[in-house]
Amino acid sequence: MELATTTNLPSSDLDAFWMPFTANRQFKASPRLLVAAEGMYYTTSDGRQIIDGTAGLWCVNAGHGRREIADAVQKQVMQLDFAPTFQMGHPAPFELATRLVELLPGDLNRVFFTNSGSESVDTALKIAIAYHRLKGQGARQRLIGRERGYHGVNFGGTAVGGTGANRKLFGNIVTGIDHLSHTHNLEHNAFTRGQPKWGEHLANELDRLVTLHDASTIAAVIVEPVAGSTGVLLPPVGYLQKLRQICDKHGILLIFDEVITGFGRLGKPFAADYFGVIPDIITVAKGITNATVPMGAVFVREEIYQTFVQGIENGIEFFHGYTYSGHPVACAASLATLDIYKKEGLLTRVSEIADYWENAVHSLRGLPHVIDLRNLGLVGAIELESIPGKPGARGYETFVKCYQQGALVRAAGDNIALSPPLIIEKQHIDELFGVVTDVLKQLA
C-alpha cells in the first residue's frame, strides 16, 4: 500500500474536510499529516518519525499498531459485524462489561456503552436526572460543572463545560447549569511537583451553591479529576475528597469524567483509585479501545442501576441508547486492549516511571517564558507566558516547532500538554524532553 504524502495528496483534496477544533485555513496552508504509527512513534507525510508525546489525543495508551487488537477486530467483523443491543443482544458487550467491572472500584458494577467521551458525558447527565426523578425528587435538575472543565461537545457536556469559547459561540444552550471555580492558581501553586497543596477550600463553593439553589434542586456535580483539554489542571490535595463529602451530605451525585484519566494514566486503573474517592458515576472513552475503534462507557453504582430496574415496573427502564451501544467490533477491540493492559501491567505501570517523568517535566524550569510546570502520573504541562494581546500564539508556535523538530505535543492555549503512551521508556522521555527543551530555547 502506498502511503499518502503531502506530495501525492493534491492540495484540492484538503478542501472538503471541515476539520474539527482546527483553524482550517491556517492548517490547509501548511498541512501536517500523519500517515503511519508504531509503538511510540508517528510517521509524518514527509517521511519523518516523530515521538508521540500525547498518545494521539490522550487515547493510545498501549502504543500504536497493536497487532492483537487488529486481529481481534478483523475476526469480529467476519464473525458478526453488527447486531443490535436494543431488545436483542450478542455476547461481546456482556463479556466486556463483566471484564470492566473487575477493574472498577467500589460498587460501580454496571456499564452503559456509548461511542465517545461526549456521549458518555451526556448519558451520565441524563442518568443523574432520571435517577432523582425515579426517587421522587424530580426537582433535582440542576447540573454543576466547573470553570475550565471540558466534557466533550454534546449539549449537556458543552453546558457543564467551562470554557469561555463555548459561551461565546453557543451561549447558554442548556439552562439550569452552574459552575464551580477552577482550581488553577499560579500565585500559590506554581512549579508544584504533583498535586498542589493549596486550594482544597475551593470545594466549599459547592456548599455555597447548595445554599443558593437548595439541595433539592441539584442533580449532580461533574468534574474531571485531572482536567486535561483546558491545560492540565490538577486537583489540590483534599479537594476531591471534600467534593465527595459535600455531595454525600446533600444527596447530590458525583460524576468523575475519566475520559483522559481512565485506563492507567495516573498509575492506577482509574483516577478514582488514585485519589481514593469513589464517585457515583464514571465516564470513559479513548483508552477503552486504545483508540482503534470509537467507544465510550458509563459506569454506575449498583444503587443507581437498581433504582432504574426497580423503579420502572414494566418496560424499558432507561429510555436512552445508541445504535452502536456495545458495537461488536468496538467490544472486540476493547477486549483485546484489556488483554494487553493486563499482560503488560499497563494500568499500574505509570507508578514505576512517574518519578523519572516528574524530573523530566521540572527540568524545564528556567527556560524562556516557562511560568509553570505541572505533573501527575504520566501527565505533564508546561505553561508559557502569553504574548500580550495574542493568547495562545506562543503555545501554537511551540506545538508547530515541536512537530517540525520531532515530537507531537498538544497546545491548549499557552499550555503545552503532554500525555504519552503508557509504554514509554526512559529513553523516550529523554528524547521527548530533548525536543521540547530545544524548542523552548528557540522561542522568541
Distance CA 101, CA 107 (A): 9
* Amino acid type, 262: G
Distance CA 383, CA 67 (A): 37
Interface region with ligand PMP, contact rule CB under 6 A, candidates 70-78, 113-121, 318-326, 428-436: 113-121
- What's the CA angle centered on 139, arms 135 and 141, to 5 degrees? 100
Residue 323's SS3 state is: coil
Q: Does 398 bind ligand PMP (CB under 6 A)?
A: no
Interface region with ligand PMP, contact rule CB under 6 A, candidates 114-122, 331-339, 345-353, 381-389: 114-122
CB 249 within 8 A of CB 211: no
Q: Does 162 bind ligand PMP (CB under 6 A)?
A: no
**At closest approach, how far in Å is the CB of 150 from ligand PMP?**
5
* Selected binder of ligand PMP within 144, 219, 259, 376 (CB under 6 A): 259
* Selected binder of ligand PMP within 56, 196, 199, 228 (CB under 6 A): 228
8: left (phi over 0), alpha (psi -120 to 50) or beta: alpha
Strands 49-52 and 407-408: parallel
Question: In the stretch 185-224, what mask flags binding to ligand PMP with x, by CB under 6 A?
Answer: ---------------------------------------x
Q: CA-CA-CA-CA torsion for 393, 399, 402, 403, nearest 10 degrees?
A: -120
In the range 268-297, which residues lie near ligand PMP by CB under 6 A?
285
* Selected binder of ligand PMP within 44, 45, 109, 118 (CB under 6 A): 118
Q: Does 229 bind ligand PMP (CB under 6 A)?
A: yes
Longest dimension (CA), the chain: 67
Q: Which helix (H) or strand (E) holds 68?
A: helix 67-79
The nearer residue to ligand PMP, 259 or 347, going by C-beta atoms, is: 259
Interface region with ligand PMP, contact rule CB under 6 A, candidates 34-42, 145-153, 328-336, 393-401: 145-153
CB atoms within 10 A of CB 443: 16
The nearer residue to ligand PMP, 114 or 398, going by C-beta atoms, is: 114
Q: Does 257 bind ligand PMP (CB under 6 A)?
A: yes
Strands 49-52 and 41-44: antiparallel
Distance CA 143, CA 130 (A): 12
Question: In the stretch 22-61, what mask flags binding to ligand PMP with x, by CB under 6 A?
Answer: ----------------------------------------
Q: Does 121 bind ligand PMP (CB under 6 A)?
A: yes
Strands of 253-257's sheet, edge to edge?
108-114, 296-301, 281-284, 253-257, 218-223, 142-146, 177-180
**At closest approach, how far in Å is the CB of 416 from ligand PMP?**
16
The nearer residue to ligand PMP, 119 or 431, going by C-beta atoms, is: 119
Interface region with ligand PMP, contact rule CB under 6 A, candidates 67-75, 133-141, 240-248, 252-260: 252-260
Residue numbers of the site for ligand PMP (CB under 6 A)?
A: 116-118, 121, 150-152, 224, 228-229, 257, 259-260, 285
